[in-house]
Amino acid sequence: MNTLDVVADILKQNSEVKYFTFAKYPKQTLIQENESFGKKDLEFIDSALGLRKQYRIPFWDSLMLTLFDKKNVSKELLQRALLHNKNDDKIFTDNIYEILNLLECNQKDNLSLNSEVHFKNGSVLHLFLLDFHVYASDNNLVIISEILNVMDLHGYILSSGDSYHFISKSFYTLDCLLDLLAKSLLFSPIVDRAWVAHQILERSCSVRVGLKHGIVPTVIKEL
């Protein structure tokens, strides 16, 4: 099962759902490819990339560690940490084939499943989605399973290639969603801290649907 199969499964089990939400967002330029940074900033970025490779921790955590007790840290580099791409281009559908067609026809944009779910009675609730950063291994799969258990979450764990995604079976109010996101931060850096911050700013969650490095997120465990 991939992400769209999970959506189809949830839809099958919940006849009161009117449609799910998907979001398109442009592919981002890597920070190390930004030509506007000066020599000192590029040195900080290179050091951060080295830490990320050595310890397999998220880039922005690596960068913030790199900046500890350093001189000449630029405002431009710090401002880049606040860059947030809003999910303004949304698709509301109960037709999985429509999403498959978008994936096949449009390689320019990334496509994500958004947590927002609209119901036939007019209410809007959210799936709880989570993006882990810990690298894929048998032991790490056990660890994230236990994290989800202690958070009393039930759903689907997907292998995203480098790490894992989670999609809940239950629906939550926005307040509950934000509470869960805040609690998940306590498990950083196993949970991707920067990803959580952006979801809180967005007031919803999104996880990738399509390919990344040739890999489609695939269910490997159900809770």
Confidence of residue 86 (pLDDT cuts 50, 70, 90): confident
How confident is the model over 10-26, as a mean pLDDT? 90
The C-alpha atoms of residue 23 and residue 92 are separated, in whole angstroms, by: 9
Higher-confidence residue of 159 and 95: namely 159
The pLDDT value given to residue 87: 80
Confidence of residue 201 (pLDDT cuts 50, 70, 90): very high
Per-residue pLDDT tens over the stretch 32-46? 667 678 889 999 999
Percentage of the chain surpassing pLDDT 90?
73
Range of weakest confidence among 51-55, 96-100, 126-130, 187-191 = 96-100
Domain ranges of the chain: 3-27+87-222, 31-80
